Structure 1
Amino acid sequence: MIRFDDVALRYGSGPDVLRHITFHIHRGSFHFLTGPSGAGKTSLLKLIFMSLRPSDGAIYVAGQDVEKLDSAGRAGLRRRIGIVFQDFRLLDHLTTWENVALPLRVMGLRPNEYREDVTDLLRWVDLGHRINAYPEVLSGGEKQRAAIARAVIGKPELLLADEPTGNVDPEMGDRLLRLFIELNRFGTSVIIATHDYALMEKLAVPRLVLQNGQVEIH
């Protein structure tokens, strides 16, 4: 599903954030991505999502060399990926329901084909009472849950989640983990970047440990 071949990343003339790393993640797998603050976890997810480009090396996602894709090819591949950013990236002019439904709308589905699914998912992440609210009135935890719902609603081939439980209580964190596990059970490859060791201890899956610009799989 994902392959990094001798990938390096640096910003400007600064030192390498990632130093010629190589690893392979198989389709349908589940990994936690961990490491100290500033190690480059968010940068690694952005490389996979093609919002950053490597300084050296090659990245393959779903068998495609992302550097060889044109803009249309990148857009098409991104539509197969669900992603949760730490800054949520909800659209301010859309309600919670409309934000979560957006991936399905982009896929060309009609509202009557997904209205019930979107509403049910929002209720499941405890946002049923915020369906018509706009992002400006949502709390940080509510925005996070909306962003997660948006990322998973289309049952993506790959889910990338950056600290998805950082603004929620432990009970909701457990509920979201069950959601990720269920997605994975139906074939979605999952990578969760997290500092939450209690969360990682609840699931015996491999960990991508990022430190000093290198990745080890434990």
Structure 2
Amino acid sequence: MIRFENVGLRYGMGPEVLRDVSFSIEPQSFQFLTGPSGAGKTSLLRLLFLSMKPTRGLISAFGHDTSTLSKSQVPGLRRRIGIVFQDFRLLDHMTTYENVALPLRVLGQQESDYRSDVVELLKWVGLGERMHVLPPVLSGGEKQRAAIARALITRPELLLADEPTGNVDPSLAQRLLRLFIELNRLGTSVVIATHDLGLMEQVDARRMILSGGRLAIHDD
């Protein structure tokens, strides 16, 4: 699905943030991305999301060499990837329902075609009673679930989540983890960036550990 070969990344003239990173994301796989603060986890997620290009090395996504993609080709590939940002990025002037439906509106779909899917997904993440409220009214955990629902509404083949349990209590973290596990069982590949060792111990999954810009992989 995604393959990195000897990827390096630097910002401007600074030192490399990522060095000689090589790995692949297989269909229907589940992996954690971890490492100390500043190790480059968010940068790696951005590369996976195709929102930036590496300084060197090869990234292939869904059979395409990303270095040869035209600007018009990138959005189509990115639509196959869902991402949950650490800061949620919900639009405060839109209801929970409207935030989750936004990716489908951007694609030009009519509300009559997607309304039932959005409502069903909001119920699935436990926000069925909160779909008509604005984000400032939501708790941190509810915002997190809304962000996850928005990432899932296009039925991505790959889901990237940046510290998805970092702003919630342990019981909600458990609930979110079960949500990711169920999503993976239904066929979506999942990459969760996290510092939470307790969370990782609950799933028999690959661990990708970033340290000093280099990646080590442990397959359980």
Q: Give the counterpart letter for 1:146 in structure 2.
A: A
Shift of 1:46: 0.3
Match runs of 1:16-27 below 5 Å = 16-27=16-27
Q: Give the counterpart letter for 1:130 in structure 2.
A: R
Name the TM-score, length of structure 1 as normaliser.
0.93
Q: Give the counterpart letter for 1:86 in structure 2.
A: Q
Deviates more, 1:87-96 or 1:187-196: 87-96
Match runs of 1:28-43 below 5 Å = 28-43=28-43
Query: Which residue in the other structure is 1:6 paired with?
Result: 6
CA contact (8 A) 2:96 2:135 kept: yes
Query: Which residue in the other structure is 2:62 paired with?
Result: 62
Corresponding residue pairs, total: 218
CA contact (8 A) 1:155 1:183 kept: no
Deviates more, 1:157-166 or 1:20-29: 20-29
| Cα distance change, pair 74–134 in 1 and its aligned pair in 2 (3 A) | same
Shift of 1:39: 0.5
Match runs of 1:165-180 below 5 Å = 165-180=165-180
Deviation beyond 6 Å, 4+ runs, structure 1: none
Distance 1:89 1:67 in 2: 28
Distance 1:217 1:7 in 2: 15
Shift of 1:108: 4.2
Distance 1:94 1:81 in 2: 23
Name the TM-score, length of structure 2 as normaliser.
0.92
Q: Give the counterpart letter for 2:179 in structure 1.
A: L
Distance 1:201 1:48 in 2: 24
Deviates more, 1:130-139 or 1:43-52: 130-139
Instruction: After superposition, give the CA deviation of every residue in 1:55-80 in whole Å (9 maximum; x if it has no partner).
Output: 11111111111221112211111111
CA contact (8 A) 2:79 2:154 kept: no
Deviates more, 1:100-109 or 1:170-179: 100-109
Instruction: After superposition, give the CA deviation of every residue in 1:6-60 in whole Å (9 maximum; x if it has no partner).
Output: 1111112211110121112212211111111110111100011122221111111
Query: Which residue in the other structure is 2:186 paired with?
Result: 186
Query: Which residue in the other structure is 1:211 paired with?
Result: 211
Distance 1:175 1:112 in 2: 30
SS in 2 for 1:105: helix
Deviates more, 1:119-128 or 1:13-22: 119-128
Q: Give the counterpart letter for 1:56 in structure 2.
A: R
Q: Give the counterpart letter for 1:159 in structure 2.
A: L
Distance 2:68 2:31 in 1: 26
SS in 2 for 1:202: coil
SS in 1 for 2:141: helix
Query: Which residue in the other structure is 1:94 paired with?
Result: 94
SS in 2 for 1:154: coil
Query: Which residue in the other structure is 2:46 paired with?
Result: 46
Shift of 1:111: 2.3
Distance 2:28 2:128 in 1: 30
Shift of 1:107: 4.1
Instruction: After superposition, give the CA deviation of every residue in 1:98-120 in whole Å (9 maximum; x if it has no partner).
Output: 11112333444432333233223
- Tell me the percent identity: 65
Q: Give the counterpart letter for 1:198 in structure 2.
A: G
Query: Which residue in the other structure is 2:134 paired with?
Result: 134
CA contact (8 A) 2:141 2:172 kept: no
